[in-house]
């Protein structure tokens, strides 16, 4: 979705909310902070016996969509549609039983993200060594809570 489309969606949410209605904007956070535009991509772990072993990160994500979403929120805040009540970032873990399930999830939901060949090989090796292992993808999420003006 384009920046303009995202702003339009937020304007429509504003239109249908009751006075002082609450909007919860929950989405992946891709920046270390508002000044640092280096991407923070989801980390991939092998999980065995309760131990998380970092094997890599997801790659090739379209960061333009994340930047457009950030700018759309800032735009409606500047225009006075909403008051930002709070912002919180936190890690969220997605668990997958097998590499095939992760691949299916990536092709269906995270279509702009991929596993590098080196990360894939490390996961395959870990699964061979520890057959009961799972895969965890840890993504940083941002929750903006805003109220309608």
Q: Are strands 22-28 and 51-59 parallel, antiparallel or unpaired?
A: unpaired
In whole numbers, what is the pLDDT of the chain averaged over residues? 90
Percent of the chain with pLDDT over 90: 68
Whether 35 has a pLDDT exceeding 70, the answer reads: no
Whether 4 has a pLDDT exceeding 80, the answer reads: yes
Query: What's the pLDDT at 111?
Result: 84
* Cβ burial 12-41 (10 Å sphere, 16+ → b, else e): ebbeebeeeeebebeebbbbeeeeeeeebb
Give the chain's domain count.
Answer: 1
Distance CA 44, CA 126 (A): 12
**What residues make up the domain containing 106?**
3-34+41-148
pLDDT in tens, 94-136: 999 999 999 999 999 888 889 999 999 999 999 889 888 999 9
């Amino acid at each position: 979705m384009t920046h303009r489309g995202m702003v339009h969606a937020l304007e429509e949410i504003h239109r249908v909310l009751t006075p002082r209605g609450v909007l919860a904007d929950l989405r992946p956070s891709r920046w270390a902070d508002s000044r640092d535009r280096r991407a923070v991509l989801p980390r991939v772990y092998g999980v065995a016996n309760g131990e998380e072993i970092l094997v890599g990160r997801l790659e090739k994500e379209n960061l333009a969509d994340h930047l457009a979403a950030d700018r759309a929120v800032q735009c409606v805040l500047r225009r006075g549609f909403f008051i930002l009540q709070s912002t919180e970032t936190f890690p969220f873990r997605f668990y997958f039983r097998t590499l095939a399930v992760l691949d299916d999830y990536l092709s269906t939901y995270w279509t702009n993200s991929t596993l590098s060949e080196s990360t894939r090989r490390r996961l395959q090796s870990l699964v061979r060594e520890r057959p009961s292992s799972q895969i965890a993808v840890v993504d940083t999420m941002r929750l903006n809570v805003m109220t309608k003006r």
